[in-house]
Chain A
Amino acid sequence: MGSRTLVAPKNKKNQLSFLERLGKKFSDFGKRFADGSLGTKLSHFIFGAGNFYHKQYIKGFLFLLIQVGILALMIFCPSVNGTPYGWKALRNLSLTHVTEGGAFDPVTGHFTSGSDCKLMVLFGFVTIAMIVIYFLVWNLNIASSAKADKDKKIGKKPSTFKEDLQELLDGKFHVMMLTPTCIAAAVFTILPTIFMIALAFTTYNSQDMNDLGTNLFHWNGLQNFRAVFTGEGSLGVEIKNRFLPVLGWTFIWAIFATLTCYFGGIILALLINKKGLKGKKLFRTVFIITIAVPQFISLLAVRNLLGEYGPFNAMLMNLGWIKQPIGFLGLHPGDSEMLAKFMVILVNMWVGIPYTMLMTSGILMNIPTDLYEAARVDGASTTKMFFKITLPYVVFVTTPYLISSFVGNISAFNTIFLLTGGGPTYTGYQAGGTDLLVTWLYKVTIDQGSYNTGAVIGIFTFIITATITLVTYRRSKAYNEEDTFQ
């Protein structure tokens, strides 16, 4: 049952040091060149030459097409919205032209201020990706030729294009299956992430830039990160004053939100699964409905229900318990921050408990019944059985869920955004009383256009979630024994 036991790394004997492996790579590379046929040697310079040499024309043509395409892109620098790709994009990546008053315009030979620095950074990274792809394909084309050499040597015919395609459905099936995801993720996930990380090291703040009427910004090193702690720079003080409180509240929120929903869900599951209870299905359905209803509907319903003019305040006033409506969710600047914090955790239970209930229901049914029988024979009470059998079992099985829901709560956007909007007391960059790092990140980037500061907050969020995940995940059984399933 040791979910945390460390498992010794496998394949110890095959592990060479990094330097040894690198050295081997280089010597293999030299050997491949020396031993290769004329075609293989030529492949080092002209993509697909080896394939033409082995009469694999289609494959050779495809390789050549990639080489010509990328080289053309690098040399001719096609531009989109006035910003070039290719070698000019690499030059633009320095953004140094900008500090001189604009980017270099090759047509006029002057610096212009009409260029767009965000596109320069974006296209610069795209160009770097193209160079990486170039060298990967380069290696692939040599390997393909070397393989044809080898086939020839043992008297086999080099594979035809049709055979290569068939191989994609069998031995290289993973290549076909993973390529769409790799391309899509590279373009729409990895590139944007790298781009935003890069923005953390720039002066890209659209408000400042709108004031100056330009699309230009430049690199400024670690200044944005320092500003979070020292308060230097144009927004520094506002960011500095709020950063640690928001960070602290993010942790408090994540701990409470996770634990309340977790144990609340287990208790609810125990109630519903009680022996002899009728209408289990009906009760379950009632609670599942909250999962099924989109959160922007259910949470906005709660927000209005608890609002100033809503039925809940009216009811309390009719009962004579209060004289004035209470601002439960901190929607107005004067409202209590503590109450708003308490309320978001409470309402979050309404959202999260059914989820845990659903999950633990299945687990509860899987607890071996002989455990309970043995305990009953020994005269254990129901309470004792709950604490000694049920709870340890459920907690053991759901530890990964506990961790992932903690990480999920750190970046729980919907609950806070829809309920309180981060309030009370939210103005400009200043995060409100219930703002988490992610909702603050949203406000800073989308509402304020301060992309550099937003990126800094995002990186901090990543560091926190990544640390927690890696530390716990790498020690878990799920990771270390992942391939024992195979």
Chain B
Amino acid sequence: MSDKKIKVSSQSRNRRVSLTVTYTLLIVLGIIWLVPLVWIILSAFRCEYRADGTFIGTVTENYFPRVFGLKNFKDLFTATYYGVPKAFPLWMLNTLVIAVIDCVISTFLVLSVAYCMSKLKFKLRKAFMNASMIIGLFPGFMSMIAIYFLLKSIGLTGNPQHPQYSVIGLILAYSAGAGLGFQIAKGFFDVIPNALVESAKLDGCTNFKIFQRIILPLAKPIIIYQALMSFTGPWMDFIFAKVIIGADNARYWTVSVGLYSLMFGTHPDTNLFTQFAAGCVIVAIPIVTLFMFLQRYYVEGVTAGAVKG
């Protein structure tokens, strides 16, 4: 009896120790993971001046700002960058427009292809799947410049009379290939039982009706996942957008191209680091909030993709 008691208490002590170790580890790791991000937020609110009264906008040695203030945000929204007055709000607006349109087109294309591949039987199905996989293996950067040439030859970028057409070109470039990335959505549709489709067919439903009335309502998680992915894409891409829209077309840049160029563009200015940080905070807030709200769908999509390959 007492033997058993000792065993139990030693077991629970072991367990407590291992839990404490786990907590410590997780807290340390959590801090490591947050240090760079918190630093960007802190830098955005840093408002320090040198002895001669000039503003310190560079990277500094102190992690925590000595003085907090909103100057970086004010400057960010009013400053002229690359010859464009009030460039930052314009970049935000460009990105929003591009992201919304891309989101609608891409999600539509992905869903329609995924549904065909999963639930319809036709002659070239397997060939289409193999082809899309092989095409996907070419590095995207390789064809990037070719897409630029192509768009330029039809006046959708590098067009001196209509520089705004570059935005259309970029939307096309973003969303055109989306349909080939159907694999995750297909994995999702595969799980929807075929019996559902078959019985609807027996009731005289056309394939279109089945898609519209049965599949789409069930596909809400994957629609949200795809929409999230294609909406956040333009906010994160800083290479493709720059090549397609053009380095000299700063008025129509997306926000990530603009922010990246503040640090590493043709006229980089190390004293703009804190403004860059402020821009990062403004871009990151909506994206992170969206992610956190739709986390469940994101995890579902990612897991489906990983396990099915």
Contact = CB atoms under 8 A, between A and B. Distances in A.
A188 B147 contact: yes
Given A181-B180, A187-B150, A190-B135, A276 B37 contact: no
A446 B287 CA distance: 29
Interface string B221-253: 000000000001001101100010000000000
A87 interface: no
Contacts of A451: 145
Given A177-B115, A177-B116, A309-B60, A285 B139 contact: no
A309 B61 CA distance: 6
B309 A362 contact: no
A195 B145 CA distance: 10
B208 A169 contact: yes
A358 B299 contact: yes
A410 B118 CA distance: 29
Nearest to A287: B33
Interface in A441-486: 441-442, 445-446, 451, 454-455, 458, 461-462, 465-466, 469, 473, 476, 478, 482, 485-486
A277 interface: yes
Interface stretch (B2-10, B66-74, B83-91, B256-264): B256-264
A103 interface: no
A345 B176 CA distance: 33
A80 B288 contact: no
B17 interface: no
B273 interface: yes
A174 B176 CA distance: 18
For the residues of B in contact with A, the DSSP-based class is: helix
A349 to B, nearest CB: 10
Interface in B121-164: 121-122, 125, 128-129, 132-135, 137-139, 141-147, 149-150, 153-154
B59 A271 contact: no
B26 A122 contact: no
B260 A455 contact: no
Contact of B141 (A80, A315, A445): A445
A442 B239 contact: yes
Contacts of B35: 305
Given A188-B173, A271-B22, A469-B137, A398 B112 contact: no
For the residues of A in contact with B, the DSSP-based class is: helix
B183 to A, nearest CB: 10
Contacts of B45: none
Contacts of A417: 239
A21 B148 CA distance: 41
Contacts of B113: 177-178, 181
Nearest to A286: B30
B265 interface: no
A16 interface: no
A278 B296 CA distance: 20
A288 interface: yes
Contacts of B260: 296, 300
A477 B28 CA distance: 40
A344 interface: no
A485 B308 CA distance: 12
A442 B116 contact: no
B153 to A, nearest CB: 6
B33 A184 contact: no
A285 B295 CA distance: 9
B55 interface: no
Contacts of B290: 292
A3 to B, nearest CB: 10
Interface string B27-65: 001101111110110000000000000000011111100
B101 interface: no
Contacts of A465: 137
A283 B26 contact: yes
* B contact residues, range: 35 or more
Contact of B137 (A166, A188, A462, A486): A462
Contact of A196 (B26, B40, B145): B145
Contacts of B178: 181, 184
Given A181-B179, A188-B172, A485-B190, A174 B120 contact: yes
A87 B86 CA distance: 50
Nearest to B152: A81
A402 to B, nearest CB: 9
Nearest to B307: A397
B63 to A, nearest CB: 4
A206 to B, nearest CB: 10
Given A174-B120, A293-B37, A294-B256, A438 B134 contact: no
Given A288-B291, A404-B309, A311 B150 contact: no
A81 B160 CA distance: 14
A454 B292 contact: no
Contacts of B22: 271, 274, 277
A152 to B, nearest CB: 25
A274 B235 CA distance: 35
A193 B135 contact: yes
Given A294-B284, A296-B260, A462 B138 contact: yes
A302 interface: yes
A413 B144 CA distance: 14
A473 B33 contact: no
Closest 7 CB pairs of A and B: A400-B309, A181-B179, A458-B142, A192-B146, A314-B61, A188-B176, A292-B291
20 contacts: A119-B153, A178-B128, A181-B109, A187-B176, A195-B149, A276-B19, A292-B291, A294-B256, A297-B259, A304-B59, A309-B58, A311-B60, A311-B61, A361-B299, A363-B303, A401-B305, A404-B306, A455-B142, A478-B309, A485-B190
Given A173-B208, A289-B33, 10 more contacts: A80-B154, A187-B176, A188-B150, A188-B177, A193-B138, A274-B19, A283-B26, A287-B30, A297-B40, A301-B40
Interface of A: 80-81, 118-119, 122-123, 166, 169-171, 173-174, 177-178, 180-181, 184-185, 187-193, 195-196, 199, 268, 271-272, 274, 276-277, 283, 285-298, 300-302, 304-305, 307, 309-311, 313-315, 350, 354-355, 358-359, 361-363, 397-401, 403-404, 407, 411, 413, 417, 437-438, 441-442, 445-446, 451, 454-455, 458, 461-462, 465-466, 469, 473, 476, 478, 482, 485-486
